Structure 1
Amino acid sequence: MAKIHTHYDNLKVARGAPQEVVRAAYKALSQKYHPDKNQGDEKAARIMAIVNTAYNILSDPVRRKEHDEWIAAEEWEVEWLESSGEEAPRTRGENWESPPPARNRRRLLREPRWWIGLLGGVALGAACALLLVQQPRLLPSALAFNGKPEAAPVAPVTSVPALDPDAWVMPAGAKTPPAVVKALAVTQLVVPARQPECDTDLATPTAPNGEPWPDQSGYIPGYPTGNSGREMTVVVDNSANANPVFVKIWDLERRSNVRHAYVLGNGTLTIDGLAAGKYEVRYQNVVSNTAHAECKNRAARRAAAGF
């Protein structure tokens, strides 16, 4: 097997030599190659530097143990290469040579931090892969970008779960959650015609601010107006729907509502003065006064029937 040059070879001692032998060998070599006795001799100066390095490592129990482990790992690799028919490292020809830094493979594999780092990397990679797979489901179905509204109708309304931190109002006495909040991330929202749903639509006589619903379409008082600018306009077309709608403009980047509006049944509202950005238009159907009375009658009939 090819010989691995070590710091023991540089001090001319056996690998199992006790500290007294290592110290004596270093003292003898120091007297022979000391610069004071070899002034101007570059080879002697190089050998003395190698001897000093070897003694510093072998005189330290911890560093000597690491060096022994490096030797064992190197010899194991050489033996494996020779047994597999590959070319093994050639024996060093120089009598004085400083071994390369110890790679210490076996010690590294026994180090808990190495395994923790490896497992952490695998977990992080798996989480990133899962995020990439799930991303289409987590992102909104569409985004609103800069530009003025087009004259022609746009894509149909899509449904997404409510992400609004200030939750939608729960209808009084409702046994099921409110209707799914609608979102259309374009510059025009066309609300389809639909019948009122007493158990899921907003059937409260007051707006979320505690005041009665407005008599006309417009912004709901009491809510701050954000993202003011001249770059964007959103048209809410509720002309096909007989019921009013409660509308919120959601800023996707700031993750907050910047407009709160109320649009009458069979009405239209233009929300202008928006700065450039990415928005979602969300709405929830509001039960009108007429429909609200009908809902109360339905509830009374169900109660009388024992349902």
Structure 2
Amino acid sequence: MSQRIRTHYDNLKVAQDAPIEVIRAAYRSLCKKYHPDQNPNNPDAERIMSLINRSYAVLSDPEQRRAHDDWIAAQSHHHPSTPSNTLKHQPSETFRPSENRPQAQATFTRFWLGLVFFAIILSLLFWFAKQQREAVPAYPTTRLDNHTPATYPEFAQYMPGYPVLAEQGHNMVKIDNQNKHSAVLAQIFPNNSKTAIRTIYIPPQADFTAFKLAAGQYRLHYRQLADDTQEEVLFELNEQQADARVIVLEDKGLGI
């Protein structure tokens, strides 16, 4: 049993005796359906559109259509050879768009699902990083039998394990604990934030200078480790400020 030949009529999905108006309408419909601009994710779109254009070029030209009809007739009668004047009218390739569409759609779906999953994971990582960055540990436990608990450093410094944030500025502030007989644990907050950007331990008769602070308003919250009292003061840093802002911790509140 011989295999059925495929023709330009098959490519345009019209009957062999279809008038030119039907062929033209079929061509327009296929162009709208398979044009590459309408199928950006179909790798076969350009090949299919090329076949549609070639078939329409043959069938819309009366002379080429007659030659193509002769070729069809010759093939139908199992002629061993094809006349030379009809060879160029034989479809060199045919298309079946439905064969690759499910695979292309599956690939497209997997791509977007992977992209959405990646975006979710990335968002979660950013969220966890933000929580870690903004989380401020509680003050270490105070021991009243010694003004400097063993868990605190020996010298004035940033407390280990506490974040050091917002180092984009050029200002500095000096926290002076020279006049106090108690070690202090101080925290610097931007005035509109609940997140401490610096946590500092300062022993008695010592001071500490925090660098790289941006201009703006801040709160200095500190706790005296000898009696566990807590105090707070507001201060401001200016862009034109050349020297360190000095905050002196006194027995009665804060002084500048």
Fold in common (TM above 0.5): no
The two structures have a TM-score, normalised by structure 2, of: 0.35
The two structures have a TM-score, normalised by structure 1, of: 0.31
More strand as a share of residues: 2
